[in-house]
Chain A
Amino acid sequence: GESVGLHLPTLSVQEGDNSIINCAYSNSASDYFIWYKQESGKGPQFIIDIRSNMDKRQGQRVTVLLNKTVKHLSLQIAATQPGDSAVYFCAENEEYSGGGADGLTFGKGTHLIIQP
């Protein structure tokens, strides 16, 4: 499958600051995007998702932005807290790819480090 990637392997921010994690994707047919958070020793946990008919979606302290023109996805975390330290993955698939199930294509992940 086509690749989904992240721009930075590590991002270090001060506690209380806002974080922005970026992701580029290459499959122009992708129409569903999702962000996962993975803490050490745990499986990925859903944060937020967005479909291609939207360019912005907000959750609690998180916002996902989608720019289909340049195939770019970002996750913004407001007022970062120590508990936000984790690896963040973007993932995508084609929601209407022909009827069958399909795995997500994951980026390589960005390690978010919160400094006190």
Chain B
Amino acid sequence: DVKVTQSSRYLVKRTGEKVFLECVQDMDHENMFWYRQDPGLGLRLIYFSYDVKMKEKGDIPEGYSVSREKKERFSLILESASTNQTSMYLCASSPLPTGEQYFGPGTRLTVT
């Protein structure tokens, strides 16, 4: 059974803090993705990675960075958290460059 896990379900951080969101998949997928989900806006792509140490910007990369040191792990980093980064963050992986993606349960981040 496919599995994507995220390190935290809920996270509360203060403005200016550095925040790490971790995602792990056990399906040996090449491709991994980070989205944020906001009411009325749906899911928006932040960054994705198609191989270890490779990364590509999505539609809204500003304020974020990513790290892919191992195939199974894709980290999203907020260098200096701001209140407008309060959101639900969803990680996904896929075996092919395009097509179906498998999602984790999400991390609800609140920045105060």
| Residue ranges of A at the interface with B (Cβ–Cβ < 8 Å) | 1, 32, 34, 36, 41-46, 49, 89, 91, 93-97, 99-109
Contact = CB atoms under 8 A, between A and B. Distances in A.
A43 to B, nearest CB: 4
Contact of B56 (A32, A99, A101): A101
A45 B103 CA distance: 7
28 contacts: A42-B105, A43-B90, A43-B104, A43-B105, A44-B43, A44-B90, A45-B103, A46-B100, A46-B102, A49-B99, A49-B100, A93-B98, A94-B98, A95-B98, A99-B97, A101-B31, A101-B48, A101-B50, A101-B56, A101-B94, A101-B98, A103-B35, A103-B45, A104-B45, A106-B35, A106-B42, A106-B44, A108-B41
A102 B98 contact: yes
Given A93-B98, A94-B98, A43 B4 contact: yes
A99 B96 CA distance: 10
B43 A106 contact: yes
Contacts of B58: 103
Nearest to B9: A41
B42 A107 contact: yes
Contact of B59 (A1, A34, A36): A1
Contacts of B97: 99-102
B25 to A, nearest CB: 12
A2 to B, nearest CB: 11
A93 to B, nearest CB: 5
B101 interface: yes
Nearest to B88: A43
A91 B44 CA distance: 11
B42 A109 contact: yes
Contacts of B105: 41-43
Interface in B32-58: 33, 35, 40-45, 48-50, 56, 58
A25 to B, nearest CB: 13
A110 B98 CA distance: 24
